[in-house]
Amino acid sequence: MTPLQPGSTIGILGGGQLGRMLALAAARLGFDVAILTPEEDSPAGRVAARTLVADYTDEAALAELAKICGVVTYEFENVPAAAVRKLTALGCPVAPGERALAVAQDRVQEKSFLNSVGVPTVAFASAEDPEGVRAAAAKVGAPALMKTRREGYDGKGQRWVEHVADAPRIFEELGGRPVILEAPAAFVRELSVIAARGRNGETAVYPLAENHHESGILRRSLAPARAPAAVGAQAERIAVQILTKLDYVGVVGVELFELEDGRLLVNEIAPRVHNTGHWTQDGCEVDQFEQHIRAVAGWPLGPTHPIAEVDMLNLLGPEAHGWARLAAEPETRIHLYGKREAKPGRKMGHVNRVRPLPGRR
């Protein structure tokens, strides 16, 4: 693909905050944006040149998107594979492609892929029926984390199995759908690395972020994380390995467990811009959103070195009502998503609290 010319239209599947911030980044580079989302009045639709309100598999909507877009991307990994296949069949490039999506949509495929390319994860086993669940639980042992193979995010669709004997019951409670059983990781810290790969194969890796979750939802990211150089180098190797082996185009978010001995395990890969990369908006010259647009548009990647230390805090539900107090903090950069209803736990926005880099104070 020759680099996509400014003035072209970039399509985004999904109308949430990630789509919105991608759309803003695309506009800065002179692109038009078309959003496909089933949601009326979506956060992303309100900043896009064009919004198609339809199901992701709506044939007419996909045909229209393929007609007007130079490239299509997505803001979440549970976009139907059929939509991506349809767009590709219509001659419209989609990035990241089908392979990345397939791997990210299925937790068993994901871990199998990672292990197959030498990237370590926790031990795991898969199961599709009560019989298989018993065998998988016996293999992985207890406690173990049972997750549906597909879907589920922010801690939804997963349960701890405290005793092997409980596994079949929990399997039924999760809907009797195919599951993965994961051994617990004895991690000391949750880290993540955001990285990008361009159409020409070049890669760019941001510094590590240190992440804190509450009730399965990201609460804070601190970046660049204070970490030994060897840990950073390990994360970079892992990110580049994933990007390269998937022939990936775009930004990927890789969630990591840091073990006591400094080794990293991959917890999960998100084939998209990632909440733990929001710090780059105020901590880097080119943030993850512009980087993703650059990559999918076939542009050269931008720099990833940090220019500030950032403490990113998600604003969940009614916390967003604290905007006036936050706006008065000189070190606080505010990012709000334009969501109409502040339901509890809903990601309404985030703030990046910015400090000079250590040694630059």
Asked if residue 309 binds a second copy (CB under 8 A), the reply is no
Answer yes or no: are the C-beta atoms of 3 and 299 closer than 8 Å: yes
Asked if residue 351 binds a second copy (CB under 8 A), the reply is no
SS3 assignment, position 359: coil
Asked if residue 354 binds a second copy (CB under 8 A), the reply is yes
Residue 132 CA, chain-centre distance (Å), reads: 30
Closest CB to a second copy among 16 and 271?
16
| Rounded Cα–Cα distance for residues 276 and 132 (Å) | 35
Would you tell me the crossing angle of helices 107-116 and 98-105 to the nearest 10 degrees? 110
Asked if residue 358 binds a second copy (CB under 8 A), the reply is no
| Rounded Cα–Cα distance for residues 361 and 26 (Å) | 33
- Minimum CB–partner distance for residue 3 and a second copy (Å): 6
Residues in 227-286 at the binding interface with a second copy, rule: CB under 8 A = 282, 285-286
Asked if residue 335 binds a second copy (CB under 8 A), the reply is yes
Asked if residue 320 binds a second copy (CB under 8 A), the reply is yes
Closest CB to a second copy among 80 and 338?
338
Closest CB to a second copy among 31 and 124?
31
H or E stretch including 172? helix 167-173
Region near a second copy per CB under 8 A, out of 29-37, 150-158, 223-231, 255-263: 29-37
- Minimum CB–partner distance for residue 22 and a second copy (Å): 12
- Minimum CB–partner distance for residue 9 and a second copy (Å): 10
Region near a second copy per CB under 8 A, out of 147-155, 231-239, 240-248, 316-324: 316-324
Asked if residue 324 binds a second copy (CB under 8 A), the reply is yes
Asked if residue 303 binds a second copy (CB under 8 A), the reply is yes
| Rounded Cα–Cα distance for residues 184 and 207 (Å) | 26
Residues in 1-20 at the binding interface with a second copy, rule: CB under 8 A = 3, 5-7, 20
Answer yes or no: are the C-beta atoms of 165 and 142 closer than 8 Å: no
Asked if residue 201 binds a second copy (CB under 8 A), the reply is no
Answer yes or no: are the C-beta atoms of 168 and 231 closer than 8 Å: no
Would the CA dihedral through 313, 238, 105, 38 be positive or negative? positive
Question: What are the beta bridge partners of residue 148?
Answer: 179
Region near a second copy per CB under 8 A, out of 47-55, 132-140, 158-166, 242-250: 47-55
Both tokens assigned to 13: 């599947």
Binding test (CB under 8 A) with a second copy, winner from 307, 311, 317, 346 = 307
Binding flags for a second copy, 161-180, as an x/- string (CB under 8 A)? --------------------
Binding test (CB under 8 A) with a second copy, winner from 80, 236, 334, 345 = 334
List all residues 6 or more positions away from 188 whose beta carbon is below 8 Å from its beta carbon.
Answer: 258, 259, 260
Both tokens assigned to 156: 């939804």
Binding test (CB under 8 A) with a second copy, winner from 308, 310, 312, 351 = 308
Closest CB to a second copy among 255 and 290?
290
Q: How many CB atoms lie within 10 A of CB 333?
A: 18
H or E stretch including 313? strand 309-316
- Minimum CB–partner distance for residue 217 and a second copy (Å): 20
- Minimum CB–partner distance for residue 305 and a second copy (Å): 10
**Radius of gyration, CA atoms only, the chain:** 20
- Minimum CB–partner distance for residue 177 and a second copy (Å): 37
Q: How many CB atoms lie within 10 A of CB 175?
A: 10
The one-character DSSP state at 184 is P
Region near a second copy per CB under 8 A, out of 59-67, 117-125, 210-218, 337-345: 337-345
| Rounded Cα–Cα distance for residues 181 and 137 (Å) | 7
In the block, residue with structure tokens 């950069």: 333
Closest to 68 (Cα-Cα) out of 83, 51, 43, 56: 51
Q: Which stretches of the chain bind a second copy, using CB under 8 A? A: 3, 5-7, 20, 23-24, 27-32, 46-49, 282, 285-286, 294, 299-300, 302-303, 307-308, 320, 323-324, 327-328, 330-331, 333-338, 340, 349, 354, 360
